Amino acid sequence: MRSANPAPHDLLPFPRGARYGPDDQAAVRDLLEAGRLSDTSRGPAIGALEDAFAALTNTRYALSFASGTAALHGALRGVGAHPDAGVVTSPLTWISAILVAFHSGSFPIFADVEPDGVNLNPTTVGSAGQASAVLVTHAFGIPARMDALTATTAVSGVPIVEDCSHAHGARYAGQPVGSWGAAGCFSLMERKPVSAGEGGVLTTNSRTVYERALTLGHHPHRLAAELTDPSLQPLASTGLGYKTRMPAVAAAIATAQLRRLEDRMAASETNLAHLLDVLHAHAAPITAPLMADGSTRGWYGTPLIVTEPVTDPAALFAVCTAAGVPVRPLYDDWLSSPLLQDPALLREAFPQVRHTGWRPPDPHALPNYQAARRQTLLLKVPDVPAADYMQQVGDTLATVLTQTIR
């Protein structure tokens, strides 16, 4: 059903470039011609991608995985998450970033997001009690407050894992995401800012984290070539068998994609600035989340915060969609999902959870998270020049907000 106003009659189509271009196709063709799509060691395609991610994040090591979820699993193993103390995380993330705590033998502990923000609140991390890791998502490309988070955890020594799956190329206070914590993880799924089709990358400055993550699912050939830690050497001939390594063809595509990231980020930035100008000129009750000086956002849905109380977020979403504003739905509320609320279901899936301090979360316990779910609109911003389109979206969104909120 379409809303009566504003009329969506002459909306421009959403501007987009080709997802895969000639460079991606050439990279795949080269690999096919070489006839080498499965590499048990750190082959040229894999090595090139890992080097490119280490350069992007200014870290010493990067390790490729079959998925972002596997990279997170590797990172939690890397930093030593364990059953006796949980993994602190915000629920405003993709479900994988919550369930990996169980994969790693530990369990999630939910902490609230910042007021008027989308990321983990540094002050709630300290009060979350004893933890074996903190998993911070840079949600929807907005860099989390890494200086405050690292300061909070420095006292206890609890390692931070950054989930950068929405934030390829982003920086917090001038420093790349993925280099602040003990490890950073990037999903390279197709809709992410850099696509391998499917894939993931872990970044770290720690040789220990790198080698421990390597043992999760990389081939014994690679383990034998790279493990130096005497405590890990006994695993060199077997690894742990999760088979989490990235296919060479995925690495070749992602390396080609990464070369265009900067241009796409710049176009998105210009488009968002234009949109915010239009919204400001209309005095629309909406704003972008604050970012620290020297920060650069990543691009995976762009969160805007409605500044007047939204009583019916589903209705606002429907009106935006009907009017042609390119909004995308927020994640489900995982806190009230059957898997997290039903202990029998969870124990059946993750038997080792019996040995942990896991308890189902109170779905109403995190007021800022609940407020963010009501007040946040996630917008798709084109990554190609789109001035006319942004003008149109800004005008339309301002009209929708003025008519439905005030």
Ligand X SMILES: *Cc1c(COP(=O)(O)O)cnc(C)c1O
Binding site for ligand X (CB under 6 A): 67-69, 93-94, 96-97, 137, 163, 165-166, 187, 189, 200
Residue number with CB closer to ligand X (202 or 390): 202
- Residue 394 is which amino acid? G
CA dihedral 7, 9, 10, 11 (to 10 degrees): 70
Least separation in angstroms between CB 105 and ligand X: 19
- CA 137 – CA 165 distance, rounded (Å): 8
Least separation in angstroms between CB 67 and ligand X: 3
Residue showing the smallest CB distance to ligand X in the complex: 68
Least separation in angstroms between CB 307 and ligand X: 26
Cα–Cα distances (Å) from 84 to 100, 105, 355, in that order, read 16, 9, 8
- CA 327 – CA 313 distance, rounded (Å): 12
Residue number with CB closer to ligand X (197 or 313): 197
Q: Name 392's Cβ contacts closer than 8 Å, sequence gap at least 6.
A: 11, 12
Least separation in angstroms between CB 96 and ligand X: 4
Residue number with CB closer to ligand X (67 or 257): 67
- DSSP per residue over 153-172, as a string? HHHHTPPEEEE-TT-TT-EE
Least separation in angstroms between CB 152 and ligand X: 21
Residue number with CB closer to ligand X (95 or 322): 95
Least separation in angstroms between CB 227 and ligand X: 25
Residue number with CB closer to ligand X (159 or 394): 159
Q: Name 115's Cβ contacts closer than 8 Å, sequence gap at least 6.
A: 121, 368, 371
Least separation in angstroms between CB 333 and ligand X: 15
Residue number with CB closer to ligand X (95 or 292): 95
Cα–Cα distances (Å) from 209 to 10, 27, 185, 212, in that order, read 53, 30, 12, 5
Residue number with CB closer to ligand X (169 or 200): 200
- CA 72 – CA 181 distance, rounded (Å): 13
Helix (H, G, I), strand (E, B) or coil at 103: helix
- CA 391 – CA 316 distance, rounded (Å): 20
Least separation in angstroms between CB 171 and ligand X: 18
- Residue 69 is which amino acid? T
How many other CB atoms sit within 10 Å of the CB of residue 41? 15
**Strands 131-137 and 160-163: what pairing?**
parallel
Residue number with CB closer to ligand X (132 or 187): 187
